[in-house]
Structure 1
């Protein structure tokens, strides 16, 4: 099971990490706001579909077509954790090689959104101070790394729950059996 966790987690992590790096390194810049979130979470969901594939392969190949909910869920969490590590590494690589001033442009966009929503000068000043404090925290890897991991891992938990719930039923997408030679 550990071998499958590492294989499928690595494949999912490379897929989501490559897309994260590509969108970050794009010449037009990384999209912020709703578009960026849509691209990011869609990519995560597609990459983490390998959780389902990994659990199904484990069920069909090693489990003889049967797997319990908890072993399947645990395997899904393992695959998600490995993928999350790759995601974090891809973001750190992107930060080191392509993103100049990400946190500054990100916080400036949030402040501009707050201003556009009609915030008062006092609210805007308080929010700008919060964003400055957030930027200082974000510079610390002990804050940034778990925060980045927390972007992808909840998606992995959800995919793991759904996959384990579906695949615990051996009649759901049953393993194909080769007919015996005549």
Structure 2
């Protein structure tokens, strides 16, 4: 099981970072709003490997049988490995590569709030919240890392639950002659 989990976890981790690595390499190719969409799409694509990993474990290594608990455990471990890669790469990008991330994010967010027709007071309150995130990230890398886990890990856990429910099998599949 370990090899299966590590292999699919590392591959999923690298798939999950595609969105923000591309936007870092080509900053003008993808605007920040679309970058978020691509980022979440790459997370979902990455975590779809949980289905492949569970099926691979069940059919190749466990004689066609896997319990919900074991299947979920596989998915959870893959989610943790992939999320750790995502968080690590994001923090490296944030602290060493990106220039003025929160300034650019604040501009995009403020433009969206203006487009929604929010009052200047509501917009100002939202911008205080964005400034709070910037201060958190700038002053406490540990909390920044934990906060970044909140962005990706729940997606992986949800997909692990769904995959475990779909792929569990208590008895061997019948052999077709």
For the superposition of Structure 1 and Structure 2, which TM-score range results when normalised by the shorter chain?
0.7 to 0.9
Question: 2:144 aligns to what?
Answer: 144
Q: Alpha carbon RMSD of aligned pairs, Å?
A: 2.5
Alignment pair present for 1:5 and 2:14: no
* Higher mean displacement: 57-66 or 73-82: 57-66
How far does residue 105 in structure 1 lie from its aligned partner after superposition? 0.9
1:22 equivalent in structure 2: 22
Query: How many residues are aligned here?
Result: 176
Alignment of 1:29-178 (within 5 A): 30-33=30-33, 35-139=34-138, 140-169=140-169
- Aligned counterparts of 1:83 and 1:149: Cα–Cα separation in 2: 10
SS at match of 1:88: helix
Cα deviation, residue 95, structure 1: 2.1
2: CA distance between counterparts of 1:98 and 1:166?
Answer: 41
Q: Secondary structure at the match of 1:104?
A: helix
Distance 1:29 1:100, change over 3 A: farther
How far off is 1:99 after superposition?
Answer: 1.5
Structure 2: runs of 5 or more not aligned: none
- Flag as ranges the 4+ runs of structure 1 deviating above 4 A: 174-177
User: Unmatched 5+ residue regions in structure 1?
Assistant: none
Separation in 1, partners of 2:131, 2:15 = 33
The answer to whether the 8 Å contact 1:51/1:160 transfers is: yes
For residues 146 and 61 of structure 1, what CA distance do their matches in structure 2 show? 35
Contact 2:65–2:171 (8 Å) recurs in 1: no
